[in-house]
Amino acid sequence: MCGIIGIILSNPDAMASPELLDSTYYLQHRGQDAAGIVTCGSHGRFYQCKGNGMARDVFTPNKMSGLVGSMGIAHLRYPTAGSSSSSEAQPFYVNSPYGISMAHNGNLVNGTNLKKYLDEDVHRHINTDSDSELLLNIFAAELEQRGKIRVNTDDIFKALLGVFNRCVGGYACVGMLAGYGIFGFRDPHGVRPLVFGERVDPVSGKKDYMFASESVALQSSGFTQWRDILPGEAVIVPKDTMQPVFKQVIARKSYSPDIFEYVYFARPDSVLDGISVYRSRLAMGDMLAENIRQRFAQRQKSVKDMIDVVIPVPDTSRDAALKCAVNLGLPYREGFVKNRYIGRTFIMPNQKERKSSVRRKLNAMSTEFRDKNVLLIDDSIVRGTTSKEIVQMAQEAGAKAVYFASCAPAIRYNHIYGIDLADPKALVAFNRSDEEVAGLIGADEVIYQNLDDLIDCVKNCGENKVVEKFEVGVFTGDYITGVEEAYFAELEHLRAQEEFLNSDEDTACFNANGCC
């Protein structure tokens, strides 16, 4: 679920890099592994700075000063394919044709076929295991087929049609053609988000344009007029006209954003596909409260008989937990204090790091737990790394009973469009009942939101009701693009290789005996 950004300024002498840098801070939550910026200077030359780490580590003042030019793209990486190596940091670049740089959010599920095609049919060398490098090379190969000395918007749209036809998976991308302009596009199901906006330069009265994964990045840079790129749509902003050209390049196959953006990925202050992430999380909390009330009522118990206090698992679940507490008429307490210097744990690259970070990240206040029956609320339980540690911390802090509720349903399948979950066996709910999950994480009871309720919560927060359905494969195993069995076999193979290479690392959280 990486973050992508593209900016083109109307003033050709202005520098896009400071604004790209600012925006990376607004999208840091989407990827902490690597960061990169590529700009294009007045003579069509690309300038780049990328590497492993967070934006603040990679973009030092010294390196930023070399990023000249009035247009550029940026990327924040959370790896889903390939490795965490710095050679897979984005944006990627190919020198032919014309010089192209591209940044990708998402994951392709037909990488093997694409690699074969690139090798055998169009003879393009692929230097990493990244699916994003494949995507860029598919685009480059399609553009090359136009056979032109200089391209126009029509050529680019035709090349993108080739990309849409060949690439299967979730993808939102921003790209830049040396000396020409920037462009953005979104897969035909709209799985991954992409917004596009404009801002009037107060001095010249001319317009600047920006793409970003989330509206918060546009809003923070003053791009107040913005809209979502539609599934299968592309937008090109040529530098010489500064007039954006929109085109529905391929007929939309559906409008199915990934529901996990609303559960966990996105910032609450973003609006994606007309749906406020914050409002959808409030709705999830409300719905969870209804389910909890009904569940206890079936046992002839009131909520107050069972629970003394609602405590969120910071950060993402806070909004939902507060709403849930209000609905249940229970006190809400911030029983866990979050260390602001530790990033998101779920998107850390390995299990060892994730596990130790939960303890470093959260500290329980015994005043809020001692002798209480607590309802802990998290947005999701994925590998169970957080929940197992958290339950233990609550118990160590003196809790009498610990109920653990999740705003999302049980996660039992791979997320194939943007979460690094190559091994479903690493999911705590894989092949396990809710009771077994509770046992493994040490909770008295685990309560999951059900899927239809989650879908209703998010859908009903939509202002313009454009979204038809959501990509929910991580809960059901049915994926919007379809996926060949061979893909999972290949993931399994890659995982085995990786495990062999990192054999000292405990990559799967729970073994058959439920030990971590």
Ligand X SMILES: NC(=O)CC[C@H](N)C(=O)O
Ligand Y SMILES: O=P(O)(O)OC[C@H]1O[C@H](OP(=O)(O)OP(=O)(O)O)[C@H](O)[C@@H]1O
- The angle formed by the CA atoms of residues 136, 139 and 144, to the nearest 5 degrees, is 125
Contact present, 48 and 103 (Cβ < 8 Å): no
Specify whether 2 is catalytic.
Answer: yes
264 binds ligand Y (CB under 6 A): yes
Number of chain positions touching Mg ion (CB under 5 A) = 1
319 binds ligand Y (CB under 6 A): no
- Nearest CA to 187 out of 106, 126, 112 is that of 106
CB of 498 to ligand Y, least distance (A): 18
CB of 324 to ligand Y, least distance (A): 15
Q: Take residue 194 and report the two structure tokens written for it.
A: 């992409």
HSE-CB of 166 using CA atoms within 13 angstroms: 24
- Nearest CA to 389 out of 365, 354, 424 is that of 354
| 379 in a labelled binding site | yes
Pick from Mg ion, ligand Y, ligand X, none: which does 52 bind, CB < 5 to 8 A by kind? none
- Nearest CA to 155 out of 130, 136, 183, 179 is that of 183
134-153: which residues touch ligand Y (CB under 6 A)? Answer: none
Comparison of 230 and 348: residue with beta carbon closer to ligand Y: 348
CB of 78 to ligand X, least distance (A): 4
Q: List the catalytic residue out of 2, 167, 324, 461.
A: 2
CB of 378 to ligand Y, least distance (A): 5
Give the SS3 label for residue 374: strand
Residue corresponding to tokens 């959808």: 280
Among 177, 266, 313, 320, binds ligand Y (CB under 6 A): 313
Pick from ligand X, Mg ion, ligand Y, none: which does 394 bind, CB < 5 to 8 A by kind? none
Comparison of 27 and 438: residue with beta carbon closer to ligand X: 27
| 153 in a labelled binding site | no
Among 19, 33, 378, 471, binds ligand Y (CB under 6 A): 378
267 binds ligand Y (CB under 6 A): no
DSSP one-letter code for 258: B
Instruction: Say which residues have a Cβ less than 8 Å from residue 485's Cβ, sequence separation at least 6.
Output: none
| 378 in a labelled binding site | yes
292-321: which residues touch Mg ion (CB under 5 A)? Answer: 316
Pick from Mg ion, ligand Y, ligand X, none: which does 384 bind, CB < 5 to 8 A by kind? ligand Y
77 binds ligand Y (CB under 6 A): no
Angle, in degrees to the nearest 10, between helices 111-120 and 131-144:
40
Q: Take residue 12 and report the two structure tokens written for it.
A: 């050709």
Instruction: Say which residues have a Cβ less than 8 Å from residue 149's Cβ, sequence separation at least 6.
Output: none
Number of residue whose CB is nearest ligand X: 2
Residues of this chain that interact with ligand X (CB under 6 A) are 1-2, 77-82, 88, 104-107, 130-132, 418
Number of residue whose CB is nearest Mg ion: 316
Q: Take residue 74 and report the two structure tokens written for it.
A: 């940026």
CB of 433 to ligand Y, least distance (A): 17
| DSSP conformation letters of 176-220 | EETTTEEEEEE-TT--S--EEEEEE-TTT--EEEEEESSHHHHHH
Comparison of 52 and 132: residue with beta carbon closer to ligand X: 132
CB crowding 353-368: b at 16 or more within 10 Å, else e = ebbebbeebbebeeeb
| DSSP conformation letters of 409-427 | ----S--TTT-----GGGS
Number of chain positions touching ligand Y (CB under 6 A) = 19
CB of 156 to ligand X, least distance (A): 22
- Residues of this chain that interact with Mg ion (CB under 5 A) are 316
Per the annotation, binding residues are 316, 378-379
Per the annotation, binding residues for Mg(2+) are 316, 378-379
Active site residues: 2
- Residues of this chain that interact with ligand Y (CB under 6 A) are 264, 313-316, 344-347, 378-387
